Structure 1
Amino acid sequence: MANKKAKKYVEAAKLVETGKLYEVKDALELVAKTKTANFVETVEVALRLGVDPRHADQQVRGTVVLPHGSGKVTKVLVLTQGENMQKALDAGADYAGAEEYIEQIQKGWFDFDVVIATPDMMPKLGKLGRTLGTKGLMPNPKSGTVTTNVAQAVSEFKRGKLAFRVDKLGSIHVGIGKVDFTAEQIEDNFKAFMAEITRLKPSAAKGQYLRTVALSLTMGPGIKIDPILASKYLEA
């Protein structure tokens, strides 16, 4: 089985020209042809940005509502109290509550993809800073996950709102759809994501902002995109 998978990967990799920086549309067309898995793979975007994440004024963090969703079923946990719990559940949250879920997380429970919290809960989340922070799950106003309107936040994430942030190496890695999306849907999602990344460029960032851009499927080879052409593509 392993050899069969490896053979499929090698065949897919032959479709990608080594060392070539592709134009955006060519890369978007090519990525669907590199399918090797027997499941519906995710179309992934990997970026390296010209920022120094050690400095607060060069952090890149935000959200974007993908026009066609991510294709992923997102499990949402809402940490809140009172009537907001029912509002969250009515909007589609998988879990809603307060101390009981905080205790479960402390014990190692992570059956969720997004954590949304109302402002009154944030002091209680201090004890989860290290636990949620290392996984990129700590609620934050910049990502729309600290809010008084839990129903709207839940609805947006359930529809495919994507949260992202730069890591300590200046990289961002996200899924923007599934291989069974149409080419137009993938392009729309890619453009929406990249436009938001561009909008969030820190004023303190020096030199070239988009250093590397690459597309791939979950189990497929990377397809490098010319970052300069990617910037022009967004301006078109």
Structure 2
Amino acid sequence: MVLNARVTGYDVLRVFCGPRGGHGNELGVVREGSVLPDPADRQEFAAKLGFSETVFVDDPERGVVDIYTPTLRLPFAGHPCVGTAWLLDVPELVTPAGVVGARQDGEFSWIEARPEWAPPRTLRRYGSAAEVDALPVPPPGEWIYAWAWEDEAAGRVRARAFPGRIDERGDSRSGGAGACTGGIDEDEATGAAALLLTARLGRALNIRQGAGSQILTAPQPGGWVEVGGRVVLER
């Protein structure tokens, strides 16, 4: 099977960009998921593209989506949902984990999700933003979200994310950004980890992650959490 012959095109977004539109996590979105309906073919195509996540849209009007890393299928992921909700401009997305609320507010795209949908992360607090900035990449092991208050009263957080995993070829590659793929040293922007941190702290956060990405969060009634950020269409 030649995948390129069956997939007519895809969009590339950057999600959780900084105030000037830089940084953020790349995301691939196949708007016509029907051209590649088989999960095995989708997994192969996601691996071929190599983004941290690739989303296949199965129903653009209802917001039904299917999310893949290069190595596995995900029931939910933060930056893919934020980016796809912005691209489709829909009030909700339907994921295997559940229905994700979505809204647009000026320059920010927001989703509403539940912390239990996010994969486990080790949330490790440090004493200052400078300590987080100075952290070396840890050896492969647990998935670490290192964070510190920049301004606790204002809810401003400095964070870095270390997936701590080796990809299937056994090499740990730096560069790129991916919430779940492994094979990278540091993740530039992770909505799922921000969701977990917000649930733990019980307050709205303004997170500066990686080299310059920005993630906004806010707890909602009933255990829900909103996660928002800027989205840029790359191509």
TM-score normalised by L of structure 1: 0.27
Q: TM-score, with normalisation over the residues of structure 2? A: 0.27
- Computing the radius of gyration from Cα coordinates, the structure with the larger value is 1
Higher strand share: 2
Larger RCO (alpha carbons 8 Å, 6+ apart): 1
